[in-house]
Amino acid sequence: MIEGIDRIVDLVGFRSSGLTGATEAQVLSAVARCDTAALAVTDGHFAAIGRDGRTVRLARTIGLPLRYFVAKMYHGPFLVVADRIDRIFDWCQEQRIGWQFDPIYTRMVPAHVVVELDQVGCPDPAPRYHRFFDPPAGRGAADIDAAGTAYVGAAYAATREWVSRVPPRTPVAVAFSGGIDSTAVLLLARRACADLGRNPCDVRPFTLDLGGGHDAAQAADVVRALGIEDSWERVEMSADLWDLAAGVRVIEDYHPLDVECAATSLCLLQGIRARHPRLTHLLDGDGGDENLKSYPLEDSDLTLSSVLRNPLLYQEGWGIDAIKHSEVYSGGLSRSYVRTVAPAAAWGFESFSPFTVRSVIAQAVAIPFEPLLGGDAARLQSLKQDVVRAGIRALLGIEMPAHPKRRFQDGVRAVAPPRASKAWCRGIFTRLWDDRLRDTPDALDVRRSGNEIPAR
């Protein structure tokens, strides 16, 4: 391996959102040293890369994806780091090494761990993982009011921190269905503005309507009940714009529910962008279902026992050592949150959900679910509503309206679309990459060999 060559290519740099507890320089230093204790006392989101000699370390939280690829150039490995698969591929194309690339060779950094890689040549050593977030489970009071106060209180603190960094008199959009999570985020953001001496009406809820959707009617009822109807906007778009292939392309993934959610987000954000060309700050309630385990178990192979025995299952998947963990994508919300950040980025928004930060997740993990559920899996569907409404009542003194839970993609039209299959979505993903890779120069006189020696 040729010495003296910088073998890290960072295509995105340090990123953060609502970060507290450390400066950018301190986070970068902690990641480089693998100082998990220093990272553990931060909150909000960050994605960072550092190096100590030949050891490279990468770390991220749920809200900011971070991905890497090992390329071979100049007799040794190059670590290419970005937020997206296609960004890494474009760099490889520019370097004439696209022939080395395959999307399945990229790796997503799992949330809440430091990934440690040694750049020592072939074969590439397996990464090592060091956890910096490990909240104690089930130690809170088995009381709905107490759990709600702690959980919503943490969400308010995260929301206020994020809002405080938005320039004054700058509007903030809220992706608003009128459901429990988006209503809570709307109310918390308005209170944060008021407490910061700003106009709460700078926070504007937007609801997508692809034609007769339940969400639009539900959202109208909620803003009317809350007395904030003047700040609400219904975004009416043609259902023809709902494009699953675009969802696959934007999130670079093929899980059907995430693809459907992304396709729906793209419609909403396109509509907001057409109305408000300069609006860039976006809040949403993604992560609320994961925190309070509010998913019907019949939709998956999960049991109540597996959910309760794995406190971070919905946030991180089965874990980095499990058979079902995907190295390409990570797991849980660590994987699926791309359905939120990628559509937002595609339309020029900076997105944030208070339910994805570690202090809020920790309060959710602390809830003693077993005694509150009493073995009744069906109770998962109503527990979140009770906890969040109790917290909003305690913190804001507001009796929050409540409506039946439904998926984002199902609430925006009169009739929910047929479920896309995983095979169909994966087929779209495969064809997209087949087309891209087909155009990759492969002639020996065009592509760069890993044995090439750089000009001095």
204, 335, 212: which is closest to 262 by C-alpha? Answer: 335
Confidence of residue 308 (pLDDT cuts 50, 70, 90): very high
User: Residues 157, 294: one domain?
Assistant: yes
Task: Indicate whether 447 pLDDT > 90.
Answer: no
Q: Which of 91, 110, 133 is the last residue of a domain?
A: 133
Residues 34, 130: contact at Cβ < 8 Å?
yes
Q: What is the CATH number of the domain that holds 290?
A: 3.40.50.620
State the alpha helices, DSSP H only, in 43-165.
85-94, 144-164
| Banded model confidence at residue 44, pLDDT cuts 50, 70, 90 | very high
Q: What would the mean pLDDT of 303-313 be, rounded to a whole number?
A: 93
At 297 the pLDDT is: 81
Distances (CA, A) of 285 to 116, 177, 192, 408: 32, 10, 16, 11
Provide the percentage of residues in the chain whose pLDDT is more than 70: 99
Length of the chain: 456
Q: What is the pLDDT of residues 323-378, one digit of tens each?
A: 989 999 999 999 999 999 999 999 999 999 999 999 999 999 999 999 999 888 88
Return the pLDDT at 276.
Answer: 98
Tell me which long-range contacts 168-172 makes (C-beta under 8 A, separation of at least 24): 168/198, 169/198, 169/199, 169/202, 170/202, 170/281, 171/202, 171/203, 171/204, 171/276, 171/279, 171/281, 172/202, 172/203, 172/204, 172/281, 172/282, 172/283
Q: Is residue 88 part of a domain?
A: yes
User: Which of 83, 100, 133 delimits the end of a domain?
Assistant: 133
Within a domain: residue 452?
no
The verdict on 72 and 152 lying in the same domain is: no
Same domain? 309 vs 400: yes
306 and 257 assigned to the same domain:
yes
What does pTM read for this prediction?
Answer: 0.96
The answer to whether residues 290 and 221 belong to one domain is yes
| Whether residues 305 and 337 fall in one domain | yes
Considering the domain architecture, whether residues 272 and 339 belong to the same structural domain is answered as yes
Q: Do 113 and 196 lie in a common domain?
A: no
Are both 77 and 165 inside the same structural domain?
no
Burial label, 51 (beta-carbon count in 10 A; 0-12, 13-18, 19+) = middle
129 pLDDT more than 80: yes
Residue 442 lies in a domain: no
What pLDDT was estimated at residue 443?
62
Task: Assign residue 353 a region (left: φ > 0; alpha: ψ between -120 and 50; beta: otherwise).
Answer: beta
pLDDT for res 413: 87
Q: Is 340 found in the same domain as 254?
A: yes
Does the residue 139 lie in any domain? no
Residue 444 forms part of a structural domain: no
Q: How many independent structural domains does the chain possess?
A: 2
pLDDT, mean over the chain: 94
Same domain? 83 vs 165? no
Distance between CA atoms of 287 and 380, rounded to whole angstroms?
Answer: 15
Question: Cα 252 to the chain's mean position, in Å?
Answer: 13
**Residue 372 belongs to some domain of the structure:** yes
Residue 368 confidence (pLDDT): 97
Mean local confidence (pLDDT), 402-412: 85
Residue 211 belongs to domain spanning: 144-430
pLDDT > 90 in the chain, percent = 82
> Do the beta carbons of residue 379 and residue 199 sit within 8 Å?
no
- Cα 346 from Cα 84, distance rounded (Å): 12
The reply to whether 437 falls in a domain is no
With bands split at pLDDT 50, 70 and 90, how would you rate the model's confidence at 444?
low
**Do 94 and 202 lie in a common domain?**
no
In a domain, 447, yes or no: no
Domain boundary among the residues 111, 133, 155 is at 133
What's the burial of 416, exposed, middle or buried (CB within 10 Å: 0-12/13-18/19+)?
Answer: middle
State the average pLDDT over residues 64-80.
94
The string of pLDDT tens digits covering residues 152-168 is 999 999 999 999 999 99
For residue 430, the model assigns a pLDDT of 97
